[in-house]
């Protein structure tokens, strides 16, 4: 299954852009302290700095080591839920506003890359969401109508008969194409944000995990592994890596693992057959498979929910590979060069939120979709902290609900949830897919 020089545990992306530790000292004092140096934290730091604040960033490990250098590099922003679900969770006005903000958020992130000169192999490839069953395609039809009537996002349905132009498989019942979405190299994207912070002389302090916060006369004393810093405002940007002392947040945003594999280099004609559309591809089924070509167009990168809890990488890679071969049987002999994982920060409403709690401003809960939304909402959280009118966003009107199964800081509920999904949801979705294809075995 593996190539000779395989790398289990190290992201494929780190071959070209591994996160680097910094030697910046911890300042004694700043106006805004940002906790976490992923996309959210760095964007927040840049926005607060450009709004006139003295800023510092503290990071528990090496900047970028979290999800921001590990993800699939699929770039897009459309509400993760249909309009009806959003209206049910947050009310019709907020649902409308979330749809309306999708195109501006995407454009903001594209402009950010351009304005900061970030070299991250960005391409507007389009992203197609592939319907696993006919009922999923029916839901996509409703979503397409809502997107077209309530936002300026371009989206078009692809009937089953047109899918062969996108992907060489008969597994899907149709698809929903977002032609303006794109692809990037996530670790280079993060590196570009670090360079943007460097140009502004923003200290980014590695190995400075925040251990405790105390509030004194409206100011914060933040104790880190490298000493204490005093700040007027704090922006929390820890998403799927949130732990104590941030209990309020950790009970609302939980770490859901996502796993990825990279194949060995494949012949270009094979790849041209498998994915002629060269799009970013995501599935509608709960297994959340997502796949793409590498930026140099030489391999398949295939990700998904191999498990909802931590699994040995070798085992997770076998599961992902089996799913990949179900979709593309011609890859049955393809070997793997890399397997890795990271934690997405999931919220129980499947949507992120920007807000303030106990004086801490935050943006989190990106629920697996953060290449656009994390830097976009990171900047919003920074504007909230410094009292800038640009803080306005519909994501301040969402919320992070609690769930009765997640009573403690650690997500113990993921173990039974994993069993539920593997033995019930996955089977039910396969049954729905078979029923939609006239009972044939897929």
Tell which residue, 269, 271, 277, has the closest CA to residue 163.
277
Residue nearer to ligand FAD on the CB measure, 303 or 411: 303
Residue nearer to ligand FAD on the CB measure, 254 or 343: 343
User: Please, are residues 86 and 102 in contact by the beta-carbon 8 Å criterion?
Assistant: no
* 283 belongs to the binding site for ligand FAD (CB under 6 A): no
Please pick, from the candidates 17, 32, 38, 48, the single residue that binds ligand FAD as defined by CB under 6 A: 38
How many H-runs (helices) and E-runs (strands) does the chain carry? 12, 19
* 61 belongs to the binding site for ligand FAD (CB under 6 A): yes
Residue nearer to ligand FAD on the CB measure, 73 or 203: 73
* 60 belongs to the binding site for ligand FAD (CB under 6 A): yes
**Tokens (6 digits) for 315:** 């085992």
We find the least distance from the C-beta atom of residue 425 to ligand FAD, in angstroms, to be 20
Residue nearer to ligand FAD on the CB measure, 210 or 433: 210
Rounded Cα–Cα distance for residues 407 and 63 (Å): 30
* 255 belongs to the binding site for ligand FAD (CB under 6 A): no
Instruction: Please give the C-alpha separations between residue 420 and each of 163, 258, 343, 416, 427, in angstroms, as whole numbers.
Output: 31, 17, 20, 6, 10
Please pick, from the candidates 289, 323, 369, 393, the single residue that binds ligand FAD as defined by CB under 6 A: 369
Q: What is the dihedral of CA 79, 81, 87, 88, to 10 degrees?
A: -150
* 430 CB-near residues (< 8 Å, 6+ apart): 442
Taking residues 321 to 360 in sequence order and writing x for each that binds ligand FAD by CB under 6 A, - otherwise, the string is ---------------------xxx----------------
How many residues touch ligand FAD under the rule CB under 6 A: the total is 39
Indicate the pairing of strand 336-347 with strand 253-263: antiparallel
* 366 belongs to the binding site for ligand FAD (CB under 6 A): yes
Please pick, from the candidates 12, 13, 39, 362, the single residue that binds ligand FAD as defined by CB under 6 A: 39
User: Please, are residues 150 and 87 in contact by the beta-carbon 8 Å criterion?
Assistant: no
Rounded Cα–Cα distance for residues 162 and 94 (Å): 34
Residue nearer to ligand FAD on the CB measure, 55 or 210: 210
Please pick, from the candidates 41, 82, 126, 203, the single residue that binds ligand FAD as defined by CB under 6 A: 41
We find the least distance from the C-beta atom of residue 257 to ligand FAD, in angstroms, to be 7
* 58 belongs to the binding site for ligand FAD (CB under 6 A): yes
Q: Which residue is nearest to ligand FAD (CB)?
A: 370
User: Please, are residues 114 and 106 in contact by the beta-carbon 8 Å criterion?
Assistant: no
We find the least distance from the C-beta atom of residue 52 to ligand FAD, in angstroms, to be 23
Sign, CA torsion 250/251/252/258: positive
User: Please, are residues 395 and 352 in contact by the beta-carbon 8 Å criterion?
Assistant: yes
Residue 318: Cβ within 10 Å count: 17
Taking residues 293 to 312 in sequence order and writing x for each that binds ligand FAD by CB under 6 A, - otherwise, the string is ----------x---------
We find the least distance from the C-beta atom of residue 400 to ligand FAD, in angstroms, to be 14
Residue nearer to ligand FAD on the CB measure, 70 or 353: 70
User: Please, are residues 436 and 134 in contact by the beta-carbon 8 Å criterion?
Assistant: yes
State which of positions 202-241 bind ligand FAD (CB under 6 A): 209-210, 237-241
**Tokens (6 digits) for 124:** 């507007």
Tell which residue, 345, 359, 369, has the closest CA to residue 288.
369
Residues interacting with ligand FAD, by CB under 6 A? 35-41, 58-61, 65-68, 70-74, 209-210, 237-241, 258, 260, 303, 342-344, 366, 368-371, 374
């Amino acid at each position: 299954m593996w190539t000779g020089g395989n790398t289990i545990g190290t992201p494929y992306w780190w071959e070209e852009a591994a996160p680097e530790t910094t030697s910046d000292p911890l300042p004694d004092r700043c106006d805004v302290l940002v906790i976490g140096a992923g996309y959210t934290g760095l964007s927040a730091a840049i926005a607060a700095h450009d709004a006139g604040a003295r800023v510092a960033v503290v990071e528990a490990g090496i900047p970028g080591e979290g999800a921001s250098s590990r993800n699939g590099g699929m770039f897009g922003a459309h509400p993760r839920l249909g309009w009806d679900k959003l209206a049910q969770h947050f009310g019709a006005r907020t649902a409308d506003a979330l749809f309306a903000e999708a195109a501006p958020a995407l454009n903001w992130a594209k402009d950010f890359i351009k304005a900061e000169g970030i070299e991250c192999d960005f391409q507007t490839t389009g992203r197609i969401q592939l319907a696993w069953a006919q009922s999923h395609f029916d839901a996509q039809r409703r979503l397409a109508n809502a997107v077209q009537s309530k936002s300026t996002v371009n989206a078009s349905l692809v009937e089953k008969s047109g899918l062969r132009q996108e992907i060489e498989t008969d597994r899907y019942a149709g698809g929903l194409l977002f032609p303006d979405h794109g692809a990037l190299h996530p670790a280079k994207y993060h590196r570009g944000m670090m360079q943007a912070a460097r140009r502004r002389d923003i200290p980014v302090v590695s190995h400075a995990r925040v251990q405790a916060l105390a509030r004194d006369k409206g100011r914060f004393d933040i104790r880190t592994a490298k000493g204490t810093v005093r700040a007027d405002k704090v922006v929390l940007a820890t998403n799927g890596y949130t732990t104590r002392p941030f209990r309020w947040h950790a009970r609302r945003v939980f770490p859901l693992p996502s796993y990825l594999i990279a194949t060995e280099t494949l012949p270009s004609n094979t790849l041209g057959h498998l994915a002629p559309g060269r799009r970013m591809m995501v599935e509608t089924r709960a297994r959340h498979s997502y796949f793409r070509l590498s930026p140099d167009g030489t391999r398949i990168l295939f990700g998904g929910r191999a498990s909802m809890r931590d699994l040995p990488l070798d085992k997770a890679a076998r599961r992902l590979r089996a799913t990949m071969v179900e979709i593309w049987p011609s890859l049955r002999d393809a070997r793997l060069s890399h397997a890795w994982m990271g934690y997405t920060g999931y919220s129980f409403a499947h949507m992120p939120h920007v807000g303030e709690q106990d004086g801490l401003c935050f943006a989190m809960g990106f629920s697996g979709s953060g290449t656009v939304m994390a830097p976009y909402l990171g900047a919003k959280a920074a504007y909230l902290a410094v009292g800038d009118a640009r803080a306005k966003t519909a994501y301040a009107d969402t919320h992070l609900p609690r769930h009765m199964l997640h009573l403690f800081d650690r997500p113990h509920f993921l173990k039974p949830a994993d069993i539920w999904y593997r033995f019930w949801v996955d089977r039910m979705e396969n049954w729905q897919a078979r029923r939609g294809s006239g009972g044939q075995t897929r």
